Structure 1
Amino acid sequence: SQRRLTDIIEFLPDATMVIDSDGIVIAWNKSIEDMTGIKAEDMLGKGNYEYALPFYGIRRPILIDLVLQPKQEVIKEYKSIKWQGNVLIGEANIRDLRGSAAYLFGTASPLYDTKGTIVGAIECIRDITERKQAEEAMRGILLSVPHALFGVEQRRIFFANEAMEAVFGWKPEELIGKSTRVIFRTDEEWLEYGTILYSRLAKEPVVVFEWGIPFVRKDGSEFFCRMSVSRTGAELGENKRIVATFEDITERKRVQEALRRSEANYRSFIENSQDVFYRSDVQGNLIMASPSLLNLLGYESLDDCLGRPIGESYYYDPEKRTELIRELQAKGRVANYEVVLKRRDGTPVTVETNSHFYLDDTGNIAGIEGVFRDITERKRAEEDRKKLENQLIQAQKMEAIGTLAGGIAHDFNNILSGIMGYSELSLKAVQDRPKVHQNIEQVLKAAERAKELVQQILAFSRKAAQEKKPIALAPIVKEVIRFMRASLPTTIEITTKIEEVADVILADSTQMHQVLINLCTNAGYAMKETGGVLEIGLEEVMINADDRLHGQPIRHGHYLVLTVRDTGQGIPQKNIERIFEPYFTTKEKGAGTGLGLAVVHGIVKDHGGEIRVYSEVGKGTIFSIYLPLMEKQTKSDKEVDEVVLRGKGETILFIDDEKMVVELSREMLEGLGYRVVTETDPLKAIETFKEGRDTFDLVITDKTMPHLTGFDVVREIRMIRTDIPVVLCSGFQDKEDMDKLKELGINQLIAKPTRMSVLAKAIRDELDKDKFEIQKT
Structure 2
Amino acid sequence: HIPFVFYTATYTDEKDEELALKIGADRFIRKPVDPEEFIKIIQGVIGDAKKGRVKAKRPILIEEKEIFGLYSERLVKKLEKKMLDLERKITEHEQAKEALGESDKRYRTLLKTISEGWWLLNSEYKIIEVNQAICNMLGYSEKDMLGKTPFDFVDDENRKIFIEQTSKIATTHHRSYEIILKKKDGEDLYAHFNASTIRNESEDMQDSFALITDITERKQAEKERDRLAVAIEQAAESVFITDKDGIIQYVNPTFERLTGYSFTDAIGQNPRIWKSGKHDALFYKELWDTITRGDAWHGRFINKKKDGSFYEADATISPVSDKSGKITSFVSIEHDVTHELELEKHFIQVQKMEAIGTLAGGIAHDFNNILTAILGYAEMVRMKLPEDSNILSDMDQILKSGIRAKGLVQQILAFSRDHKLEQRPLQLKYIVKETLKLLGSTLPADIEIKEDIAKDVGIINADPTQMQQVIMNLCTNASHAMQEEGGILSVSLINVELDDIVAAHYIDTDPGSYLRLTVSDTGIGMTSEIIEHIFEPYFTTKEKGVGTGMGLSIVHGIVKNHNGGITVYSESGKGSTFHVYLPRIGETEEQPKAREKETPSVGHERILLVDDEPVLAELGKQMLERFGYEVEVRMSGIDGLEMFRAQPDRFDLVITDMTMPKMMGDKLA
Indicate the TM-score class for this superposition, using the shorter chain for normalisation.
0.5 to 0.7
In the other structure, the counterpart of 1:551 is 506
In the other structure, the counterpart of 1:518 is 473
Among 343, 349, 354, the alignment partner of 2:318 is 354
Residue 496 (1) aligns with residue 451 (2) = yes
In the other structure, the counterpart of 1:215 is none
Alpha carbons 2:466, 2:558 under 8 Å: kept? yes
Residue 423 (1) aligns with residue 423 (2) = no
Among 645, 649, 652, the alignment partner of 1:694 is 649
Deviates more, 1:533-542 or 1:590-599: 533-542
Task: Please state how far the C-alpha of 1:395 moved relative to its aligned partner.
Answer: 3.7
Alpha carbons 1:340, 1:349 under 8 Å: kept? yes
Aligned equivalents of 1:315 and 1:406: distance in 2?
Answer: 52
In structure 2, the residue corresponding to 1:570 is in which secondary structure?
coil
Residue 535 (1) aligns with residue 490 (2) = yes
In structure 2, the residue corresponding to 1:612 is in which secondary structure?
strand
The aligned length equals 434
Q: AA paired with 2:292? A: R
Correspondence list, 1:378-389, <5 A: 378-379=335-336, 382-383=337-338, 385-389=340-344
Alpha carbons 1:532, 1:567 under 8 Å: kept? yes
Task: Please state how far the C-alpha of 1:568 moved relative to its aligned partner.
Answer: 2.4
Correspondence list, 1:206-221, <5 A: none
Aligned equivalents of 1:541 and 1:309: distance in 2?
Answer: 58
Task: Please state how far the C-alpha of 1:423 moved relative to its aligned partner.
Answer: 2.6
TM-score w.r.t. length of structure 1: 0.46
In the other structure, the counterpart of 1:707 is 662
Report Cα offsets for 1:271-299 as digits up to 9, x if no partner. Answer: 5535689675989585xx7xxx7777799
In the other structure, the counterpart of 1:613 is 568
In the other structure, the counterpart of 1:405 is 360
In the other structure, the counterpart of 1:310 is 267
Among 533, 539, 547, the alignment partner of 1:584 is 539
TM-score w.r.t. length of structure 2: 0.53
Alpha carbons 1:332, 1:357 under 8 Å: kept? no
Among 449, 454, 465, the alignment partner of 2:404 is 449
In structure 1, the residue corresponding to 2:586 is in which secondary structure?
coil
Correspondence list, 1:258-277, <5 A: 270-273=225-228, 274=231
Aligned equivalents of 1:571 and 1:341: distance in 2?
Answer: 28
Correspondence list, 1:586-601, <5 A: 586-601=541-556
Among 351, 372, 381, the alignment partner of 2:331 is 372
Are the structure 2 counterparts of residues 390 and 328 from structure 1 closer, same or farther at C-alpha, using a change threshold of 3 Å?
Answer: closer
Aligned equivalents of 2:365 and 2:287: distance in 1?
Answer: 65
Quote the sequence identity (%): 39
Alpha carbons 1:455, 1:510 under 8 Å: kept? no
Are the structure 2 counterparts of residues 485 and 644 from structure 1 closer, same or farther at C-alpha, using a change threshold of 3 Å?
Answer: same
Alpha carbons 1:315, 1:340 under 8 Å: kept? no
Are the structure 2 counterparts of residues 660 and 505 from structure 1 closer, same or farther at C-alpha, using a change threshold of 3 Å?
Answer: farther
Correspondence list, 1:228-307, <5 A: 270-273=225-228, 274=231, 280=243, 286=249
Are the structure 2 counterparts of residues 268 and 531 from structure 1 closer, same or farther at C-alpha, using a change threshold of 3 Å?
Answer: same
Report Cα offsets for 1:580-627 as digits up to 9, x if no partner. Answer: 333221211011111222333344445554432222333221112234
Task: Please state how far the C-alpha of 1:309 moved relative to its aligned partner.
Answer: 8.1
Among 285, 292, 313, the alignment partner of 1:333 is 292
In structure 2, the residue corresponding to 1:311 is in which secondary structure?
coil
In structure 2, the residue corresponding to 1:551 is in which secondary structure?
helix
Report Cα offsets for 1:242-263 as digits up to 9, x if no partner. Answer: xxxxxxxxxxxxxxxx999998
Aligned equivalents of 2:427 and 2:389: distance in 1?
Answer: 29
Aligned equivalents of 2:477 and 2:431: distance in 1?
Answer: 18
In structure 1, the residue corresponding to 2:366 is in which secondary structure?
helix
Are the structure 2 counterparts of residues 671 and 330 from structure 1 closer, same or farther at C-alpha, using a change threshold of 3 Å?
Answer: closer
Task: Please state how far the C-alpha of 1:659 moved relative to its aligned partner.
Answer: 1.9
Aligned equivalents of 2:244 and 2:365: distance in 1?
Answer: 75
Aligned equivalents of 2:353 and 2:304: distance in 1?
Answer: 41
Greater Rg by CA: 2
Task: Please state how far the C-alpha of 1:672 moved relative to its aligned partner.
Answer: 3.6
Aligned equivalents of 2:284 and 2:621: distance in 1?
Answer: 86
Alpha carbons 2:320, 2:330 under 8 Å: kept? no
Unaligned runs of 5+ in 2: 1-186, 188-212, 233-238
Are the structure 2 counterparts of residues 527 and 269 from structure 1 closer, same or farther at C-alpha, using a change threshold of 3 Å?
Answer: same
Unaligned runs of 5+ in 1: 1-220, 222-257, 715-777
Are the structure 2 counterparts of residues 650 and 637 from structure 1 closer, same or farther at C-alpha, using a change threshold of 3 Å?
Answer: farther
Alpha carbons 2:276, 2:303 under 8 Å: kept? no
Residue 659 (1) aligns with residue 585 (2) = no
Alpha carbons 1:452, 1:510 under 8 Å: kept? no
Residue 675 (1) aligns with residue 634 (2) = no
Q: AA paired with 1:517? A: M
Alpha carbons 2:346, 2:538 under 8 Å: kept? yes
Report Cα offsets for 1:309-358 as digits up to 9, x if no partner. Answer: 833499974999xx999889867727447798999xxxx99875434799
In structure 2, the residue corresponding to 1:600 is in which secondary structure?
helix
Alpha carbons 2:297, 2:316 under 8 Å: kept? yes
